[in-house]
Structure 1
Amino acid sequence: MSQRDRNICRWLEESDSDAEDQRDEPELPNEDCSDVEDVPLDHVIESECQSDSEIDVDELCENNDDGDVPVDDQSSDDDVPLARYRNYFGKNRFRWSSQPPVSRSRTLQHNIIHQPPGLKRNFRDVLNRNTKPSDIWQLFFIDDMLEEIVKYTNEKIIKIRPNYQNQTCVHDLDVMELKALIGMLYYTAIFKENHTHYTCWYSTDGTGREIYRCIMSKNRFEILLNCLRFDDASTRDERRSTDKAAPISQLFGKLIQNCKEVCSIGSYACIDEMLVVFRGRCGFKMYMPKKPNKYGLKIMCMTDARNGYLVDGYIYLGKDSDSQGLPDEYQRLNKPTQSVLRLIASIEGTHRNVTTDNWFTSVELMKILKQKQLTLVGTLKKNKREVPPQFLPSRHRDVGSSIFGFTSDATLVSYVPKQNKSVLVLSSMHHMPTIDPQKQKPEMITFYNSTKGGVDTLDQKCAIYSTSRRTQRWPMAVFYRMLDVSAANSYIISNMNQAQRKVPRLNFMKQLAKELIEPHLRRRVNQFGLQRDLQNAIRRVLKIDEEPRSFSAGSSDKLETRKTCSTCDPKKKRKTFHLCFQCKNPICVECSQKMCISCRDKL
């Protein structure tokens, strides 16, 4: 055999041995790509993860036993195509696979919802052809809540009553008048006059509104707003030692409980904070610079992600208030995680999805929600230790590109909306690297955008028709927001009524306010000593005929007995001459010949 033939045989033997060595290398299955493992140090990229800034990724180590990416000593990760990575590792050695897990079912179990949305069984008979807005509203503000407000308000009225010489405006409050007061506040929301001083409403020069004078007097409205109370003042100091929101926490808790019992939300829930505007003195007032009003009381809310129905919430009272009512094993968790666990108590085990922003989202929360049979979708902060360096902003990544990391339970995507920027979204609901063909974005991004605005929708509804007024008492600020939320939830439920046509929200609010004030108006129209023009105004609002007057048979419009003119100033003491042929009120010669001044002005 020649030297050339011997060289060819030796080359063939070496190539066969290399092929056998490559076939003997074990491959990492997709199911084994989750959680934190003890990985050799040469697989971990040690670098400082900075959020929302450009990060230079360190060099990979030379010795790569798993055969991930062979690199030279002087080549950086930015020069290596990301598609060649088999695994990505975070700072705490949390491993993400570049390949999605194998799906063995068409629809995963955690995406199947068994509880239908809408009114719950005990309240379905409320919606029918004869349902009124006030019937739905009273599902949230039940009579027990109104009676408590009446009870504690009357205690305050009794205390201040000796300070008034005229006792006509400091009489006790009842449920009917309280509903009229709430209806009056809803009218201020409809007319956008909630920030107008109430003295302007009662002007008789044509600039005021007649409906306010019909409901109650100016002095009575002022007294009721000053005297409204929602708890027992004698035990308030004792309860404040454990509950900073003691003046209204009991009433607020009953409203939230009613929201849970009345309606069931859809498949997607949203958790976020709501800021109630308040600039007075309060121990737990918050400053949130990204909010339009910046100062106020923060309420943590969980709503339906589609329509904004409030299903749960609590008033944030400062540090360590998120863990109230949670078991002992949850006391050491992060504060945002405790807040979510406190809000999802009513939907545990329902296979719903919870959408959160980057303040709440974490791998820790995702694992706990999985145990409670819930999924999580939310943006993730870039400084989390589970985020690999390859997912951070980089000038070498193209605009519109995406990187996916998978575990057996969750998926992490890094999307580049613009140069040197990246958005991280964590999801335990999605498990495939699906791209939306229309928007050219990952499906996780489009799903998050469609479900992130549940609390913002509710906040917008409360801002459009707001009953809030300037006040120095923070319980009143919370009470105004409770009225706005109850009206918004009532409108959402009214749209579920198949027996009636959907009406605009403005018409719904008008009908609700009218139904709340109507019983009080029917009682007030016959009140002794009420001015005649005010009685006629109330009758016009109620759409009833004016009270007829009896005259002797055969008598003409001439008066047999002389009386004071009904339209002139009583101090002038002008004697009447005949009756107005239109309103039948006694008038004097100074008014007109056959018609009083008020009737003539109307014409």
Structure 2
Amino acid sequence: MPRVQLAIPSQESEDEIGISDEEFEMEAELGLADSEDEETVEEEETHEVRKAKDLNWQKRRTILPVPKWRGALPDPTMVCEPIQYFERLLGRDVFEDVATQTNLYAVQVDPSKPLNVSVDEIQQFFGISLYMSAYGFPYTRMYWATNIRVDKIADVMSLSRWETIKRFLHFADNNKQVAEGQPGFDKLFKVRPLLDCLLKSFRDIPIGEMLCVDEQIVPFKGRSGLKTYNPKKPKRWGYKIFVLADQHGIVHNFEFYTGAVPAVEGVHDIGSSGNIVLRLASVIPP
């Protein structure tokens, strides 16, 4: 029986082990030698090495001016039901696109066996998947088992239909994917439409004063070239996501870790850990 593990599709080798957080550490060499020794060494070193030794760290108490926050959060106009908040993140148009791509993929696999999944079924599939996460059974088929049947799942959709939709579930057309090594290649192409929709919804939420950038690990030990491994973390295997959130845990921006983080356009490259902060903070209004 299949376990409740859904991998993010990737073209990378499934045997690839994720990159640890150590790639995000920034190192600076400290110049600790006395002046006479430094003069002797510098005469023997190349220009590149001398340039690296120009960076010296000093320990001191620095108090920088904190600019006054000029923003203002609007008062809530109404208290919504949970489903209404969910629909603000993922509207019906998103599920319409998912239904279209899922039906397309089923036909691409076998033209003689169309899936004909409806938008309502896609919404039910997502609802069932979320409801499963609240129970946490180790096997998906347990929700339909006679002795421990979960009516709010089993009464909505049959096991056979749920597994069939899961098999063909798609968010993008595979025929439009750029080959690896070509300009425009995206490791997250297969889920990019869903991520873009969530990003837009999160960025539309009014931003408060207290913000923080941190990494979040989504536990996952299945086969995926996108998962990372860090033995120092409570959850060593999983997908790494960098998140900009406020003190209430409301997400305003996020970015999946897929490798080295490029610099923000027009800004000096300060390394992966600094670049990700600047990239996520770019949505903060001045």
Question: TM-score with structure 2 length normalisation?
Answer: 0.72
What is the CA-CA distance between 1:239 and the residue it aligns to? 7.8
Residue of 136, 141, 164 corresponding to 2:90: 141
Q: Distance in 2 between matches of 1:202 and 1:302?
A: 38
User: Are the equivalent residues in 1 in contact too, given 2:241–2:257 (CA < 8 A)?
Assistant: yes
Q: Distance in 2 between matches of 1:178 and 1:318?
A: 32
RMSD: 3.0
What is the CA-CA distance between 1:218 and the residue it aligns to? 0.9
User: Are the equivalent residues in 2 in contact too, given 1:265–1:309 (CA < 8 A)?
Assistant: no
Q: Percent of counterpart pairs with the same letter? A: 22
Residue of 56, 60, 66 corresponding to 1:92: 56
Give 1:277's aligned amino acid: P
Q: Distance in 2 between matches of 1:139 and 1:224?
A: 24
Q: Pick closer, same or farther for the CA change 1:137–1:46 going to 2, 3 Å.
A: closer
Secondary structure of the 1:115 match is coil
User: Are the equivalent residues in 1 in contact too, given 2:241–2:255 (CA < 8 A)?
Assistant: yes
Q: Tell me which residue corresponds to 2:71.
A: 115
What is the CA-CA distance between 1:174 and the residue it aligns to? 1.8
Q: Distance in 2 between matches of 1:180 and 1:227?
A: 15
Q: Distance in 2 between matches of 1:148 and 1:113?
A: 40
Q: Pick closer, same or farther for the CA change 1:246–1:239 going to 2, 3 Å.
A: farther
1:199 aligns with 2:199: no
1:47 aligns with 2:32: yes
Q: Tell me which residue corresponds to 2:201.
A: 258
Q: Distance in 2 between matches of 1:207 and 1:256?
A: 38
Q: Distance in 2 between matches of 1:300 and 1:203?
A: 38
Q: Distance in 1 between matches of 2:97 and 2:149?
A: 33
Per-residue Cα deviation, 1:528-582 (whole angstroms, up to 9, x for no partner): xxxxxxxxxxxxxxxxxxxxxxxxxxxxxxxxxxxxxxxxxxxxxxxxxxxxxxx
What is the CA-CA distance between 1:340 and the residue it aligns to? 0.7
Gaps of 5+ in 2: 1-29, 35-54
Pairing 1:199-598 to 2, within 5 Å after superposition: 199-204=141-146, 206-238=147-179, 241=182, 242-261=185-204, 263-304=205-246, 306-319=247-260, 321-323=261-263, 326-330=264-268, 332-349=269-286
Q: Pick closer, same or farther for the CA change 1:162–1:197 going to 2, 3 Å.
A: farther
What is the CA-CA distance between 1:156 and the residue it aligns to? 1.9
Q: Distance in 1 between matches of 2:202 and 2:61?
A: 42
Q: Distance in 2 between matches of 1:134 and 1:343?
A: 28
1:186 aligns with 2:118: no
Per-residue Cα deviation, 1:328-382 (whole angstroms, up to 9, x for no partner): 442x322211111100011142xxxxxxxxxxxxxxxxxxxxxxxxxxxxxxxxx
Per-residue Cα deviation, 1:31-84 (whole angstroms, up to 9, x for no partner): xxxxxxxxxxxxxx9637xxxxxxxxx9xxxxxxxxxxxxxxxxxxxxxxxxxx
Secondary structure of the 1:139 match is helix
Q: Tell me which residue corresponds to 1:152.
A: 101
Give 1:252's aligned amino acid: L
Q: Distance in 1 between matches of 2:258 and 2:157?
A: 36
Q: Pick closer, same or farther for the CA change 1:174–1:92 going to 2, 3 Å.
A: same
User: Are the equivalent residues in 1 in contact too, given 2:31–2:56 (CA < 8 A)?
Assistant: no
Larger RCO: 1 or 2 (CA < 8 Å, sep 6+): 2
Gaps of 5+ in 1: 1-44, 49-57, 59-90, 102-107, 165-169, 350-603
Q: Pick closer, same or farther for the CA change 1:282–1:189 going to 2, 3 Å.
A: closer
Secondary structure of the 1:270 match is strand
Per-residue Cα deviation, 1:225-278 (whole angstroms, up to 9, x for no partner): 1111111111113488422211112320221111111x2232211111111223
Secondary structure of the 1:201 match is helix
Q: Distance in 1 between matches of 2:274 and 2:181?
A: 26
Q: Pick closer, same or farther for the CA change 1:328–1:174 going to 2, 3 Å.
A: same
What is the CA-CA distance between 1:300 and the residue it aligns to? 1.0
Q: Distance in 2 between matches of 1:225 and 1:134?
A: 22
User: Are the equivalent residues in 2 in contact too, given 1:303–1:309 (CA < 8 A)?
Assistant: yes
Secondary structure of the 1:254 match is helix
What is the CA-CA distance between 1:173 and the residue it aligns to? 1.5
Q: Pick closer, same or farther for the CA change 1:347–1:152 going to 2, 3 Å.
A: same
Q: Distance in 1 between matches of 2:258 and 2:31?
A: 39
Secondary structure of the 1:248 match is helix
Question: TM-score with structure 1 length normalisation?
Answer: 0.36
Q: Pick closer, same or farther for the CA change 1:284–1:136 going to 2, 3 Å.
A: closer
User: Are the equivalent residues in 1 in contact too, given 2:207–2:284 (CA < 8 A)?
Assistant: no
Q: Distance in 1 between matches of 2:278 and 2:152?
A: 46
Q: Distance in 2 between matches of 1:295 and 1:309?
A: 24
Residue-pair matches, total: 236
Secondary structure of the 1:157 match is helix
Structure with the greater alpha carbon radius of gyration: 1
Q: Distance in 2 between matches of 1:95 and 1:177?
A: 60
Q: Distance in 1 between matches of 2:85 and 2:191?
A: 23
Q: Tell me which residue corresponds to 1:375.
A: none
Q: Distance in 2 between matches of 1:288 and 1:93?
A: 28
Q: Distance in 2 between matches of 1:290 and 1:173?
A: 43
User: Are the equivalent residues in 1 in contact too, given 2:220–2:239 (CA < 8 A)?
Assistant: yes
Q: Distance in 2 between matches of 1:233 and 1:218?
A: 27
Secondary structure of the 2:89 match is coil
User: Are the equivalent residues in 2 in contact too, given 1:118–1:265 (CA < 8 A)?
Assistant: no
User: Are the equivalent residues in 2 in contact too, given 1:271–1:302 (CA < 8 A)?
Assistant: yes
Q: Distance in 2 between matches of 1:208 and 1:297?
A: 31
Q: Distance in 1 between matches of 2:223 and 2:142?
A: 27
